[in-house]
Amino acid sequence: MKFYVEVTRSKKEAVIQSEIDGVQYSTVMKYEEDDEWNSFDFGGNIFDIHFLYDNGFTVSIYPVIDDSVEYSELDVELKLKRKSK
């Protein structure tokens, strides 16, 4: 499973996309802090997302199974947009 995340740092906004079981999912998420956790649901599958700015900006996504985070990081392709349009 691969996630495509496009972050606009000036707006503190991320567009998250993935395909799960042949279905395309997409969501837009805002974040406030440079070290922030949040979660999202794609087709009944829950994921935790970690936004982190520490010597560079990273995004990590982890599956949540039976209300527990599985700390096996999923594949994330991150694209940073410097300016919003």
Structural domain total, the chain: 1
Q: For residue 66, count CB atoms less than 10 angstroms from its CB and return exposed for 0-12, middle for 13-18, buried for 19 or more.
A: exposed
The three-point CA angle 45-77-27 to 5° equals 45
Match 């996630």 to its residue by tokens.
3
Q: Which domain holds residue 14?
A: 2-81
Q: What pLDDT score was predicted for residue 85?
A: 54
Residue 84: its pLDDT value, please?
53
The 3-state DSSP class for residue 55 equals: coil
Contact 7, 59 (CB under 8 A): yes
Question: Could you report the average pLDDT of every consecutive run of 10 residues in the chain (85 residues)?
Answer: 94 96 97 96 96 93 93 92 69
